[in-house]
Amino acid sequence: MIDLPALSPAHDLREVQLLEVRGATLNVIRCGSGPPVVCLHATGHGARDFDRLTQRLGGDFTFFSLDWPGQGDSQREAIPASAGRYAELVGGALEALDLKDAILLGNSIGGAAAILCAASHPDRVRGLVLCNSGGLIPVNLFIRMFCRHMARRFEKGAAGDPAFPAWFRRFYRQVLPLPEAAWRREEIVAAGARTAPVLAQAWRSFAEPAADLRPVLKGLSAPVLFAWGLRDRILPWFLVRGLARRIPGARIALFDAGHSAFLETPEAFDAAFLDFARSLRGPGT
């Protein structure tokens, strides 16, 4: 069983199910009532990232939080982790759950998967909330070297490197630096040895030319909210801001946070999310 925080009666409609999509078995947590929001987490995290978000806003939206394969409560799969593979799984989940006009809320690789899914399923995606999303910077020589270096780190962790746990803990104090996210940071760090193989695969994929999704994003018709934590050292805002400002109609919300503003600055994130969601419904609704 998944240990969810206590919910008020207004959002007590909650289901946990295993969903068979595209050859994978995904754990999906459904919570709340209202327009659909599909939550896609960063590599090595899990659907629990969104527990408190769904607790706060479950009275207004139906949240579907997915665990990627080999993370959270989803089973591992043989296909290596990548934004492309995850986009296939999201598309399959939208079809299996019969979701239309969904908001895709994606963090890190989840944001990259959301971009690709919106491109392939435009009739099912109402808008995108990109939280420090992958796929938005050029894959140049430096990026390839850095991503392969990180992949080797996680490969060592998967092989049982005794120095890995301490390194991973230090690393995640930079990824999620604020005390509001400490509860989740500790869970992610504790699962580091189990998720290291998937993290290694994902970082390898980030070094591939296909990881550059800037042309895909520019071609989307769905409205976009860039919800960016300014303390992020992995995906800093200055590398993305030029692109964000060139996307027609895009909204930008910046937070004093690391990689996941919905975990670290919840009140400010909720306000930006609600403002964006209301804009999708049109005037007077």
- Rounded to whole angstroms, the Cα distance separating 151 from 164 reads 13
pLDDT digit string, tens, across residues 77-128: 999 999 999 999 999 999 999 999 999 999 999 999 999 999 999 999 999 9
Provide the residue type at 196 as one letter.
A
Judge contact between 53 and 262, C-beta under 8 A: yes
Question: Would residue 179 count as lying in a domain?
Answer: no
133 close to 108: Cβ distance less than 8 angstroms? yes
> Residue 237: which of 110, 137, 121, 118 has the closest Cα?
137
Q: For tokens 């030029």, what's the residue?
A: 242
Taking the CB of residue 170, how many other CB atoms lie within 10 A of it?
10
Q: Which residues in the chain land under pLDDT 50?
A: 1-11, 283-285
Q: Is residue 150 part of a domain?
A: no
Domain residues for the domain of 19 are 9-139+211-281
Does residue 21 form part of some domain? yes
CATH of residue 128's domain is 3.40.50.1820
Q: Tell me if 4 is assigned to some domain.
A: no
Does residue 187 belong to any structural domain of this protein? no
Structurally, the chain folds into a number of domains equal to: 1
User: What pLDDT does 14 receive?
Assistant: 78
Residue 111 in any domain: the answer is yes
Structure confidence by residue, pLDDT tens digits, 55-81? 999 999 999 999 999 999 999 999 999
